[in-house]
Chains A and B, each alone.
Chain A
Amino acid sequence: AQSVAQPEDQVNVAEGNPLTVKCTYSVSGNPYLFWYVQYPNRGLQFLLKYITGDNLVKGSYGFEAEFNKSQTSFHLKKPSALVSDSALYFCAVRDRRGGKLIFGQGTELSVKP
């Protein structure tokens, strides 16, 4: 069965420090990988995706993610966190046959001044 795991319910980071939000997946073949961010009472905003090519993907708002096929991971990173980055982050995967988007359980990021 296809699944996505975000092992941390919450990540706390001080402003200016680097942040990492972890994601691992279990999907057959080479899936498409996504990160979304959700602010309170809002829909999901697209951050970045991995389709093919360079394992390091750069996205919106200074975020990037690294695809690691051997570890089946797609961790989200940012070199210097901002208080405004505080939100709920979702990792998602989809198989290449055009199937459903499967979401992780979400990680709440809290960035303190």
Chain B
Amino acid sequence: GAVVSQHPSWVICKSGTSVKIECRSLDFQATTMFWYRQFPKQSLMLMATSNEGSKATYEQGVEKDKFLINHASLTLSTLTVTSAHPEDSSFYICSARGGIDDNEQFFGPGTRLTVL
């Protein structure tokens, strides 16, 4: 099946710093990428949807200036958490859709962000 990677798998940062998370589709071209946030033992909350070369569409309540999303190519999307605070600590998961079967979404392994 299609593979989606995320880097880093975990990151610890100080409050006020910015953190960039990369999401790559390794063996297919992702026309659409999604960013989710997940709290422990809870469901995935969609943060934003991005299409290659265009601005991301953010879900209601998600601050676009705080969570910057760039989908620069068909295989790479980045999420930058700007001026991170402890309440931004969470598990961030990206997902990609595309390739031959556009009905299916493939998920990355997630990135654990801890803000001190």
Contact = CB atoms under 8 A, between A and B. Distances in A.
Nearest to B108: A43
A43 B104 contact: no
Instruction: Count chain B CB atoms within 10 A of each CB in A32, A44, A104 and give the residue with the most.
Output: A44
B104 A104 contact: no
B28 interface: no
Looking at chain A's contact residues, is the secondary structure mostly helix, strand, loop, or mixed? strand
B49 A100 contact: yes
Contacts, number: 49
A32 B112 CA distance: 30
Contacts of B43: 90, 103-106
Interface of A: 32, 34, 36, 41-46, 49, 51, 88, 90, 94, 98, 100-101, 103-106, 108
10 contacts: A42-B110, A43-B4, A43-B109, A45-B107, A46-B1, A46-B107, A98-B102, A100-B34, A100-B46, A106-B41
